[in-house]
Structure 1
Amino acid sequence: MRATLDDPFAQLSGPLAGTRQLHLEVVSTQLLTPHMQRIELTAPELDGFRYAPGQDVMLLVGAEGSRPVRRRYTIRHLDARLQLLTLDIVRHGDGPGERWVRSAQPGDRVEGIGPRGKITPSPSADWHLFIGDESAVPAIFAMTELLPGDSVATLVLEVPGPDDEQDLVAAARARVSWLHRIGGQPGDPAALVAEAAEVELPPGAGHAYLLGEASVVLRLREVLAGRGLPEAQMSPKAYWGRGRANAGHGEPARDA
């Protein structure tokens, strides 16, 4: 599919200031786990491209009538010298993003904008706590892998089953707890909320990154706030909303 970005995203101003338009071409695609697809893309605009771990690119994945549909995917890795961008994308449902992921083949072209996103590792944190579902694994791994070697990180990740676990290679002292849904419904807050209520919060000024389904992220904020973690030390981000498609700009609607 070849598509062209239309207004308002054709003008890289306002919230898009500092981003680039990317004329991307799919290089390869492979299934990492039963629910995670890795897609590698290239573009001349990736030469000198800079981003912070946790940021994403917004792709124009299709259209609904005359309305362009975009989805945002975390930058899992970038080799600027080779102009190679790696995206790890959760496969679920049958929306426009899922259809693009399933059909993507080497040589396909797609328009993108990036980098986007404000949630990146806090440089002043004494420790880091990452909590999320499978949609958050690429961002959480990308952030954890680039933490300094003297950093302490705890990861609590809920995925469909054991085959959805991935190996983390990080210099930081990182501990990963995998929760397996095993037939449960995505977006059910019970398991992650229970872990948030019990997970160790070490001494010092730590930072929590809460990523995933919108209502679950809200519950996680409430639980950690109830345990005394200040709002300033939490970075919540909803990637999707249970029972509703993301808006055309690639994120959950504001009221999700």
Structure 2
Amino acid sequence: MTTGTDATRTIKAAIRRRAQRTELRTARTTVVDTVILTRDFTRLTLRTDDLGDYHPEPADAFKLMLPIDDGARTDHPRRGDDGLPRWPEGATQPVLRALTVRHFDPARGLLTVDVARHQTGPLMSWLATVRPGDAVDLAGMRAEWHLPQEIRDVILMVDGSGLPGAAGIVERLPDHVTVIVYVIDCPRDDLVLIPAHPRLSVIRVGAAHDIGHQTPRAVRAQRRVQVWIAAETGDVRVLRSVVTRRWHVPGDDILARAYWTSGRSSTDVDATNLVRYQHAIAGGADVHDPVLAENIDLDT
């Protein structure tokens, strides 16, 4: 792997810069429709007048604010002096669930999201009963992607939770960029979410550690590659280890996100991570630094 990369021209540096200049966005939305895409995915379309100046980048993330009581409107958070979102005193905090922007049409105010369905949880309960015209609010956006001009080889590693983000990334990649998508433990039918690209390879694997048994051509040729990881926490730890220790990809060219944690609810994980952020910020850390987010996600 090439060394001596300018750290200011990397995915992590660009995401940090974007986060530092981006205000916390909140939006009141109404449901337009839901469409079953595959056995495991539903496409949710929302309409809002509150994102007129939003310019989406691939894999942008936000929190859907599910009301505690059916039909209730939710209070919106504001960013505190420490950079963390806070709810007004006395407000009931909604149930938060992270999702990925798939498309946004600013002219019509339409936000499209592909939701990975699983067996239980607040988001699944809401999705099962929601109807066109129902109200739901969101807060975001968190940058999850940037492609430096120098990058010609991209590697994406995802499970079902990261598949919508990977699809958005592939869709926006220039034709000259080679991209490999490793998909972990996903039915073949779900791969229809990934759009066509002239230099795309999709590789299904049964488990994260299976990726460690193969080395992409670009890595063997010691070309600079950019790696994006979005999956379950334990799998992300395995994959980041493969990428850094076996493939020797510099950390600045990697973005690793834990999208869920086996055996724990997202609410529990968010509460734990909030305390970690507070401690880190009190010690002088930058809340916008993706390295901090990565370390907190993976508890390193």
Specify if TM > 0.5: yes
- Does the CA contact (< 8 Å) of 1:126 and 1:151 recur in 2? yes
- Give the whole-Å Cα distance in 2 for the aligned partners of 1:205 and 1:213: 26
> Relative to structure 1, is the Cα distance of residues 108 and 249 closer, same or farther in structure 2, using a 3 angstrom cutoff?
farther
- Give the whole-Å Cα distance in 1 for the aligned partners of 2:194 and 2:130: 26
Cα distance, 1:248 vs. partner? Answer: 6.5
Cα distance, 1:85 vs. partner? Answer: 0.6
After superposition, residues 41-60 of structure 1 pair within 5 angstroms as 41-60=46-65
The aligned counterpart of 2:276 is: none
The aligned counterpart of 1:206 is: 225
- Give the whole-Å Cα distance in 2 for the aligned partners of 1:229 and 1:24: 40
What is the alpha-carbon root mean square deviation over aligned residues?
A: 2.6
Does 2:153 correspond to 1:134? no
Amino acid at match of 1:229: V
What is the identity percentage for the equivalent residue pairs of Structure 1 and Structure 2? 25
- Give the whole-Å Cα distance in 2 for the aligned partners of 1:67 and 1:18: 20
Deviations 1:14-55 (A, max 9, x none): 989423221111001011111111000110123232121111
Cα distance, 1:153 vs. partner? Answer: 0.4
- Give the whole-Å Cα distance in 1 for the aligned partners of 2:129 and 2:271: 21
- Does the CA contact (< 8 Å) of 1:55 and 1:120 recur in 2? no
Choose between structure 1 and 2: higher helix proportion. 2
Secondary structure of the corresponding residue to residue 247 of structure 1: helix
- Give the whole-Å Cα distance in 2 for the aligned partners of 1:24 and 1:99: 18
Amino acid at match of 1:213: E
The aligned counterpart of 1:187 is: none
The aligned counterpart of 2:183 is: 157
Amino acid at match of 1:193: H
Which runs of 5 or more structure 2 residues have no equivalent in the other structure?
Answer: 1-18, 70-90, 274-295
Deviations 1:160-202 (A, max 9, x none): 42332215334451111134x5xxxxxxxxx222124304140
Pairing partner for 1:33 from 35, 38, 41: 38
Secondary structure of the corresponding residue to residue 223 of structure 1: helix
Structure showing greater radius of gyration is 2
Does 2:266 correspond to 1:246? yes
The aligned counterpart of 1:72 is: 98
> Relative to structure 1, is the Cα distance of residues 85 and 213 closer, same or farther in structure 2, using a 3 angstrom cutoff?
same
> Relative to structure 1, is the Cα distance of residues 160 and 153 closer, same or farther in structure 2, using a 3 angstrom cutoff?
closer
- Does the CA contact (< 8 Å) of 1:71 and 1:251 recur in 2? no
The aligned counterpart of 1:186 is: none
Secondary structure of the corresponding residue to residue 226 of structure 1: helix
Which runs of 5 or more structure 1 residues have no equivalent in the other structure?
Answer: 1-13, 182-190
Q: Could you tell which deviates more after superposition, 103-112 or 164-173? A: 164-173
Name which structure has the greater RCO, CA cutoff 8 Å, separation 6+: 2
Cα distance, 1:252 vs. partner? Answer: 7.9
After superposition, residues 83-162 of structure 1 pair within 5 angstroms as 83-162=109-188
The aligned counterpart of 2:240 is: 221
- Give the whole-Å Cα distance in 2 for the aligned partners of 1:239 and 1:59: 14
The aligned counterpart of 1:9 is: none
- Give the whole-Å Cα distance in 2 for the aligned partners of 1:91 and 1:231: 32
- Give the whole-Å Cα distance in 2 for the aligned partners of 1:244 and 1:36: 21
